[in-house]
């Protein structure tokens, strides 16, 4: 049942809801609940970013440390072992980040659509707009850095010098 159907089923018109303090309070609380849900989605994406950053950073560090140690002949390991293990960790971090970004975008689009429906039916006060997700911007920047790191490891491209 949509919010508009619920409004009509309750027998309340938009004009009656505007004059009823109890319904106004409920609409305000529902609007705040949408904001809390949005912030919860942001926190979920931040935890994905944190885990992906750890995987990407650890994978790149393993690659760099063992490649340097191997060139100094201090350690005897397989020729491609540091590259393979480091690349696997970075790829896992990138994959996790892609899935997290896709989930966040789909969730936020559904939440925005539901909220707009509630605003249109006067079930929700829509005074505070949804801002641009800075967490999503950071996630996309980390994705770019992860792709640069894996290209450096696999193809020997050094984008930062």
- Residue 25 is predicted with a pLDDT of 64
Domain boundaries, the chain: 3-155
- What does the pLDDT average to over 44-54? 97
- Residue 23 is predicted with a pLDDT of 64
**Mean pLDDT for the chain?**
82
Burial class for 36, CB neighbours closer than 10 Å (0-12, 13-18, 19+) = exposed
CB 154 within 8 A of CB 60: no
The model carries a pTM of 0.77
What are 55's two structure tokens? Answer: 């995987």
pLDDT, one tens digit per residue, over 82-136 is 889 999 999 999 999 999 999 999 999 999 999 888 888 877 777 677 788 999 9
d(CA 10, CA 122): 13
CB 96 within 8 A of CB 53: no
| Dihedral (CA of 88, 89, 90, 96) sign | positive
| Dihedral (CA of 150, 155, 156, 158) sign | negative
């Amino acid at each position: 049942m949509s919010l508009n159907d619920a409004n009509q089923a309750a027998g309340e018109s938009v004009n009656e809801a505007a004059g009823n303090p109890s319904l106004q309070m409920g609409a305000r609380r529902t609007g705040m609940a949408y904001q809390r849900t949005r912030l919860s989605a942001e926190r979920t994406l931040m935890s994905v970013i944190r885990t992906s950053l750890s995987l990407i950073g650890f994978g790149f560090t393993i690659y760099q440390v063992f490649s340097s140690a191997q060139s100094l002949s201090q350690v005897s390991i397989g020729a491609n072992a540091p590259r393979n293990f480091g690349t696997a960790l970075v790829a896992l971090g990138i994959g996790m980040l892609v899935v997290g970004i896709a989930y966040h975008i789909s969730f936020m689009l559904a939440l925005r659509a539901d909220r707009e429906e509630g605003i249109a039916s006067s079930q929700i006060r829509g005074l505070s707009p949804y801002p641009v997700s800075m967490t999503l911007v950071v996630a996309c920047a980390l994705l770019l850095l992860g792709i640069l790191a894996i290209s450096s490891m696999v193809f020997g491209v050094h984008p930062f010098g």
